[in-house]
Amino acid sequence: MSSIVADEIYQIQIKRAGIELIANAGAKLSIQVNNQWVNVLQAMGLSMDGSGGAVSNIINGFQILSGNNFLPKIATSHAWRGSNGLEISLALRFDAWDDARADVLRPVQQIVRMFMPTRPGGEAGAAGGVYNTLQSLMGGNFSAIQNTFLQPPGPTPWQVLFNTSEAARQMVNLRVGKVWILTDLIPTNFTLEFEDRYTKQGDPVCAMVNVGFQSFQTPTADDVIGYFRAGPQGPASAPSSGGAPS
């Protein structure tokens, strides 16, 4: 008996090149967007206290001489300076039913591989060209120091610019039941907690993992609406009755 439900509706699937993880979608999914706004005068390099150059000094001088705290309403406006895109966090739980290593340890190991940096080796494209050049210049000395390098747990600029295949781009794809399919994510953080229950072999029988992702680039509103599996019109059919499986 597997600890993962068979119905796709109640599954979370996380995929990155060479890694595929499926967990039960029993916990809430949190999605956050942060927009950066600054005061319009600050965006123009001005201020109302005389600290922003000649124009600011004139405004400040007028305030002092007139005794009026001159502040036109437009000066309280804010200018948008960008967005960090989507920030996604969700909780995963892995319980051992028949095999603690297969049901708990293996998914945990996949999460570690997805979120932690690795040693470089076998890169394609521009990255491979860089390492090949260093290898030819340094010979055996390069192999001796190669283990001191770290490969990021996600895409590098050249992988995104010079590769179109999903495997080469190293992006994370996330499917939440039959509701959302999110693509081009990068892993940001994870926390791991084992319950104090173990098999006779010492394997934990339950792991609770909180994972976080962020969109590699800031999506538009249409992009985010397009992540819904049924598109802008909403769900194609009524929700399944009977609730989540026990």
Write down the pLDDT at residue 163.
67
- Going from N- to C-terminal start, the domains of the chain cover 1-35+85-117+153-236, 40-79, 118-151
Both tokens of 83, joined, read: 């967005």
Half-sphere exposure of 121 (CA within 13 A, CB side): 8
Answer yes or no: is pLDDT of 245 > 50: no
Mean pLDDT of 145-170: 73
pTM tops 0.75: no
State residue 118's pLDDT score.
Answer: 83
Please report which confidence band the pLDDT of residue 126 belongs to, taking 50, 70 and 90 as the band edges: very low
* Burial of 41 per CB tally in 10 Å (0-12, 13-18, 19+): buried
pLDDT value at residue 201: 84
User: Who wins on pLDDT, 155 or 115?
Assistant: 115
pLDDT confidence band for 138 (50 / 70 / 90) = low
Sign of torsion over alpha carbons 68, 73, 75, 77: positive
Q: What percent of the chain has pLDDT over 70?
A: 68
